[in-house]
Amino acid sequence: MSTDRRSFLKISAATGGALALGAHSHPLMAAEPTLVNPSSGRDPGKASAPLNILILGGTGFTGPEQVDYAIARGHKVTLFNRNRTRPDFFKGKVDQIIGDLGGDASALKGKKFDVVIDNPTTLPFWVRNVAQYMKGNVGHYIFISTISTYPDNATPNADESAATTPMPQGVDPFTTVREHAGQYYGALKTFSEQEVARQYGSNHTVIRPGLIVGPLDRSDRFTYWPARIDRGGEVLAPGTPDDPAQIIDSRDLAEFTVRVAENKTFGTFNATGPAKPTTMAEVLYGIKAVTTAGASFVWVPTDFLASQEVRGWRHMPIWLPPSGSTAGFLRRNVDKAIAAGLTYRPLAETARDTLEWHKKRPEAELKAMENGAVAGIPAAKEAAVIAAWRAKKADG
C-alpha cells in the first residue's frame, strides 16, 4: 500500500525538528552548519575514556562532522591531510599534520594514536603508505568503505556476508592511479578493505555507507530534492510511490564512526538507513513537509522514464528501478550496524538543514543544480517529460 501524503505528514510531525545552524569561522564555510551547536538542545555528553584520534582527511564532507562530534565528546583530534581542502579549517581546535596519503606520509613517523579514521582512501597504496608508520602504533583502524564493494545489487536485504568485488585479472591494485579509480572503484575499495585487514589484523573496523546526504554535500545526489521541491510547481517523481530509498545523514554516519571507536567495535558494517525500510513517497513528502512552496508530484513509470532517456541516480537522484539488477541496491540490510549503535535523526531534520545550507551556496552552484550539471534533471527537460507523460495518458 502506498504511503500517502496525509500519513507521512503525521510521521513527520511526530519526528520533526532540526538543528539550529552554526558556522565555522573559515570564510569558505560561512554558510555551513556545525554538528554540535548549543542552541540545538542536544548534549552529546562526554566519553567515559577520551581517545587520541587521527582522522585522515577530515575537511571534506563527512570529516568535519566527525571532528565536531569527537571534540564534543571530549576526544583529542589530529588531522592528516595536504591542507588543501578548506585549509586550516579547524585551526586551534585540532592538531594538524601535513602530508599526502598517496605521497610523502613521513610526518606520521613516530606518532601513536588510539584510533585512526580513514575517510578518503580508495587506492590500496594509500593504506600501505600510512601503515608503514601506523602499524603497531594504533590500537584501532576504522576504514570508511562503501556499499559499492558489492557487485550483486539484485538481492534485497543482503547483509555484510555478501560477496565483494575482486580486482579484474591483470590489474595491479597497488599501481592503479587516481585517474582510473572511478573505473575500478568497487574493486579498489574491496582491496583496500583487505589491505587494512592485512596490516592491522583483527583490530580494525570497516564501515560501508550507502548514499551519504546532508549539509555540505555538493554531489547534489540528495540535495537536488529539497532544492527542487522548494521551487514548487509540478515535480517529476520516479517510478511509483512505493519504490525503495536508502540514505544516511553524514552526521549520523559521523556519530556512528566515533561510537564504534569509543566502544572498540570491530568488524564490518553496512551503514545506510533508516532503520525501517522507507519509500520514495516517504522521502519526497517528508522533504515537502519542511517547505512552503506547495509542490506537487507527478509519478512517472520506470519504462516511460527510460523512453525519455531519464536515468535513475543521475537524473532522478536516490532512486533506481527496484527490479532486476538494481532490485537490492536500495534495500541493504543494516541490522548489524543498528545493533552496534547506529542511530538516525528524523528525515525532516536532514531535509531542513540541507535546504538551509543549499540556499546559502554560491550562485554558480545554484544555477548548476537547476541545469542538472551534477545530479538531477534540468528544469526544461523535466517539464518536457511531464508534458509527454500527460500526453501519453490522454491518448490512452
Greatest pairwise CA separation for the chain in angstroms: 74
- Three-state SS for 195? helix
- Three-state SS for 53? strand
Report residue 169 as a C-alpha cell.
Answer: 585479472
For 36-74, give one letter per residue: b (16+ CB within 10 A) or e: bbeebeeebeebeeebbbbbbbbbebbbbbbbbbbbbbe
Which class in CATH covers the domain with range 5-395? alpha beta
Say if residue 359's pLDDT is above 50.
yes
Does residue 361 contact residue 31 with C-beta atoms inside 8 Å? yes
Question: Which pLDDT tens digit goes with each residue over 39-85?
Answer: 344 788 999 999 999 999 998 889 999 999 999 999 999 999 998 88
pTM attached to this predicted model: 0.88
Q: Which residues pair with 54 in a beta bridge?
A: 78, 116
Q: Return the closest-CA partner of residue 261 out of 79, 49, 107, 56.
A: 49
Phi first, then psi, for residue 22 (nearest 5°) are: -115, -175
Q: Give the domain ranges of the chain.
A: 5-395
Say if residue 395's pLDDT is above 90.
no
Q: How many residues appear in the chain?
A: 396
Tell me the pLDDT band of 177, cut-offs 50, 70 and 90: confident
| Cα gap 127→65, rounded to integer Å | 22
Say if residue 171's pLDDT is above 50.
yes
Average pLDDT over residues 308-315: 96
Residue 370: what pLDDT?
A: 82
Percent of all residues in the chain with a pLDDT value above 70, rounded to a whole number? 89
Average pLDDT over residues 346-367: 93
Question: Which pLDDT tens digit goes with each residue over 111-165?
Answer: 999 999 999 999 999 999 999 999 999 999 999 999 999 999 999 999 999 999 9
Question: Which pLDDT tens digit goes with each residue over 287-297?
Answer: 999 998 889 99
Tell me the pLDDT band of 179, cut-offs 50, 70 and 90: confident
